[in-house]
Structure 1
Amino acid sequence: MKFRGNCQMALLGAIEAGGTKFVVAVAPVEKPEAVVARESFPTEDGASTIKKVQEFFDQYEDIAAIGIASFGPIDVKPDSQTYGYVLDTPKRGWSGYNFLGAMKTWRDIPYYWTTDVNAAGWAEYVSGSAADVDNVVYLTVGTGIGAGIIANGEFVGGYSHPEAGHIMMAKHPQDNYEGHCPFHGDRCLEGLAAGPAMEERWGVSAKELPDDHLAWQIEAFYLAQAAVTYTATLRPERIVFGGGVPHRDILLPMVRQSFAEQLHDYLAVPKLEDYIVSVGNGDNAGIYGCFYLAKELLVD
């Protein structure tokens, strides 16, 4: 690959913008995994948080490009009047905030603007658990649920980015929970299976639930149901699970078992141990994805 300008000493920037915390980092263009510096801080309102982001990057003059992976929903249509904005969100001080515009005003360099799950999914596609395939669904299950979808090496998107965490779900027969999603209640995946839904349903965080608790059977049922939906509609070569909830070792084997039961041999899929897998880059997936995407902006 040929890069514009002198990238021998240049740096890439990464902004992983979460609803709970921001992570910012820099790394060399030639080796994005070799993180030079990294910092995190709680997410406040837009202006206050971006000021801290800019103060971090002010320490580095040789930043060639920055990848921004933001919580959503965001406007990703380049021809839109609100391109680069955070759209309506319950996060205070962010609805209608011109995130990308604020960064461009601070420093006029190339920026790759996408969702947090797209960036993490791209990292898995480049160097993680999906590095050997061209079609992948990356699903993060944590404070919320979202998906980065890559088909034939390109992000899936149209009118906007996918909101695959809000697909409609059939409830588990033993689940009476009313749902956490403020828009869909107990009708969508995020409302039933995100971390806050588990805590609200059972009265303790997922980390405190024992392996033999009914919670994990119900969680596996919902995640498997989502995987069946993505399989039927997108036909990916791999589904990668990231986020805090899938850290529990027993969960993915249960998801595979429930997936097999719910799919009921309707479609041919790879061996389930190779098809439904854990994230390969761990907690670095979002940052690495930002670096990889920023680096693409420098290729002639």
Structure 2
Amino acid sequence: MSAIVVGSINMDLVTRASRFPQPGETLIGRNFSTVTGGKGANQAVAAARLGIETHLVGRVGADEFGQVLLAGLRGAGVNIDAVEIDKQTHSGVAAIVTNDTGENNIIVVPGANHRVDTSEIDRLASLLPQARVLLLQLEIPLDCVTTALDVACNQGVRVILDPAPVPLNFPRELYRKIDIITPNEVEASQLTGICVECPDSAAKAADRLLQWGVGTAIVKLGHQGAYCATTDVREASPSSESVAAPRSNRFFVPAFSVAAVDTVAAGDAFNGALAAAIARDVSWREALTQAAAAGAIATTQPGAQTALCDRLTLESFLRERQV
């Protein structure tokens, strides 16, 4: 029962200010910190802390950031045997500005992440026979993501794609290879051309993704919650059929109310918890509830990996809310 994550590993350079600066404006911030991050690394840590054996496939640079990143992953319980140290470039970095309402703006400089190639996919292929789920994002080259999808499909391993950041021309033919896709409202809008702002519009976007061949579409709506539409017939009921999409089960899970500090890595917490739940083969509603709870918990602490919860914290959070 293991999960594999193929993705980015970054050092986050986090600045906090009362608001975001306007173009051309110099704004005085309150503090600065360096925090281990990257979507791939964050999601691997999120799954590992929830008790799932987790392997990360990716690259860091041969620099001080790279050593700190690897130590953080190792300390979180992530298996990093398939992480390469690239002597030709720097580790990935993300410049993050967080405001007083917990929102953030992020600029990513990929570095070693954009040099992930077929050697990483070879490592992935050797790990897949023991895996229940493969988790991918789009902060590494798209051709590597595509190859990883093909390898996982050939070995019958379920694939979750977090489509972030959305490329300009995401290949339509890839949708049929994706078991589960987890865009937020902005990414769902970019992928489908539907303006996603609420559960109703999320349902329309999810239907379109199902029409294009995705098995399960989960649209994350931030403080509103998450919408799920799945063609997994194990959980579908005849009354949930729709002429707009394949036979499917649809439901909405409201967000948990918490005192948010920042939203950095909330989506990564969601995806890591979702992967952990799927590795345990729980129901869709239970998986989505656990993922939503993990995402909510992450917003109550500053930073990325430092804000990701362990299994005891997640279970306690759900018990307190009588879930």
* Same fold? TM cut 0.5: no
- Pick the TM interval, shorter chain: 0.3 to 0.5
TM-score w.r.t. length of structure 1 = 0.33
Please state which structure has a larger fraction of its residues in strand. Answer: 2
Asked which structure has the greater RCO (Cα within 8 Å, sep 6+), the reply is 1
| TM-score, with length taken from structure 2 | 0.31
